[in-house]
A = this chain, B = another copy of it.
Amino acid sequence: MRDTPYLAVDEQLLESNLAAMADHARQLGVALRPHAKTHKSVEVGRRQLAHGAVGLTVATVSEAEVFADAGFDDLFIAYPIWAEGPRATRLRALAGRVRLRVGIDSIEGARMLAHAATSGEHPVPLAVAVEVDSGHHRTGVEPGQAGVIAAASLEYGLTVDGVFTFPGHSYAPEARASAAHDEALALEIARESLRGLGLECPVVSGGSTPSADAAEGRASGGVLTELRPGVYPFFDAQQWELGTVGPGRIALTAVATVVGARGARVVVDLGSKVLGADRAAYATGFGRLPADAAARIVALSEHHATIEFASADEAPVLGERVRIAPNHVCAAINLADELVIESNAAEAAVWPVDARGANT
């Protein structure tokens, strides 16, 4: 018996989730480049490649370093990196040993990246993709401006792979299909913005887990050439509540022990330091129990979660264990040092969270 709390992964569900998204990408006729910020695990990344992924997406230089050290040779840092100081040196070292693509959304950013790539003794090749805003309103330029950034990047001596966006506004009720539509429209404008300036645009990259179902790829005349979903190996309570999947496909849960029980309300021995404190406006609580759709996590502190069951009869007793799907699996994994892999309900392996805390 392992002491709670810990994160358990159902290996059969993980494998079927990996296979399903790989099949989906093949059917769309697009390359799959999963976002590794979700799992931060070399082993999960290897399995994604084994299922046909072309490479990985990461969020930071330090995540890229972890995967490069593990032998991954094709990485996309889908983030507008400001390449200054030690980070510029690290980026150059990375570009010298793997096929590296970096996001940009400003001319100044492109200039800094080019400087980083060429300021060493030997210049290194560095590819970029221009980030465009498809409705999430975070980073990224207006789609029609993508060509200007791409042209400047070429001028600075960078390779331009193409354009990308993150349709993060797919994380809202009933928004999955419309976000996929916005994504396609923004990427098409961005691609034409490059072509209008006589530039190539081989890569048109999009994709989030909620919008992936509604994405259109080359096979059906869609604009996408590449998909970057992150959460799909595990799914989570958010994906359940958004309707992306049902609870039966959630592959990761936090295992907890009941330490307090009063009627229909129990308190378990994990809190925000295990689940994360993410709670979207549409969430019904601080996580969900895949085995009990009626139960609600009504309060969360650092080491306590208060769960309300439909009745006292449904509630577990002191010392019993419950399994909780985090609202946001990326946050929960980044809090843990390891994932406990269960195969047919028995503990089969422990995988380190190799890139935990890799934020720089």
User: How many residues of A sit at the interface, in one of the four size bands?
Assistant: 35 or more
A80 at the interface (CB under 8 A from B): yes
The CA-CA distance from A260 to B140 in the complex, in Å, is 8
Known pairs A6-B360, A82-B257, A337-B357; A272 contacts B331 (CB<8 A): yes
Residues of B within 8 A of A360 (CB): 3-6
**B334 adjacent to A59 (CB under 8 Å):** no
**B269 adjacent to A82 (CB under 8 Å):** yes
A319 at the interface (CB under 8 A from B): yes
Against B, the Cβ 8 Å flags (1 = close, 0 = not) of A318-340 are 11000000001011001111000
Known pairs A257-B82, A259-B80, A259-B82; A357 contacts B331 (CB<8 A): no
The CA-CA distance from A316 to B359 in the complex, in Å, is 21
Chain A residues numbered 86-111 whose CB sits less than 8 Å from any CB in chain B: 86-87, 90, 105-106, 108-109
Residues of B within 8 A of A79 (CB): 259, 269, 303
Residues of B within 8 A of A51 (CB): none
**B81 adjacent to A259 (CB under 8 Å):** yes
Known pairs A331-B302, A335-B335; A276 contacts B277 (CB<8 A): yes
Residues of B within 8 A of A257 (CB): 82, 84
**A334 adjacent to B331 (CB under 8 Å):** no
Please name 24 pairs of A and B residues whose Cβ atoms are closer than 8 Å in the assembled complex, sorted by A.
A1-B84, A3-B61, A3-B85, A3-B90, A3-B360, A60-B303, A79-B259, A79-B303, A81-B259, A82-B259, A82-B269, A106-B318, A108-B319, A112-B319, A168-B301, A272-B278, A272-B331, A273-B330, A273-B331, A276-B277, A277-B278, A277-B331, A302-B331, A303-B359
